[in-house]
Amino acid sequence: SQQGEEDPQALSIQEGENATMNCSYKTSINNLQWYRQNSGRGLVHLILIRSNEREKHSGRLRVTLDTSKKSSSLLITASRAADTASYFCATDKYGNKLVFGAGTILRVKS
């Protein structure tokens, strides 16, 4: 990966449980975004958190950002089978490009 690691690489949970995915990056950033990708499909934007923000919520999603540790976490509460997908974090420092992490494969079993 160009940017860093996502942890865990794969996660399998039961429906109704919470899922936490972590992302680390290497350089200072302006923003960090989380995306979801169903197998072989497009990247769906979930949430954007700016470097001066520490936490953000959107529905069942909670994202935290710790710029001192260069890390972010995505929490999905009360998971559903439809949440099964790959989740990527992506950062930008300058310029127009997003740099993606390696992704976490989440499987929610019903």
Residue 95 as a binder of other proteins (CB under 8 A): the answer is yes
* Distance, CA of 91 to CA of 26 (rounded, Å): 10
Report the residue from 12, 45, 58, 80 that binds other proteins according to the rule CB under 8 A. Answer: 45
- Which of these segments, 10-18, 26-34, 57-65, 75-83, binds other proteins (CB under 8 A)? 26-34
Report the residue from 19, 35, 63, 108 that binds other proteins according to the rule CB under 8 A. Answer: 35
Report the residue from 11, 43, 61, 75 that binds other proteins according to the rule CB under 8 A. Answer: 43
Report the residue from 19, 21, 23, 33 that binds other proteins according to the rule CB under 8 A. Answer: 33
User: For residue 35, how many other CB atoms are within 10 A of its CB?
Assistant: 19
Residue 88 as a binder of other proteins (CB under 8 A): the answer is yes
Which residues contribute to the site for other proteins (CB under 8 A)? 1-2, 30-31, 33, 35, 40-45, 48, 50, 88, 92-103
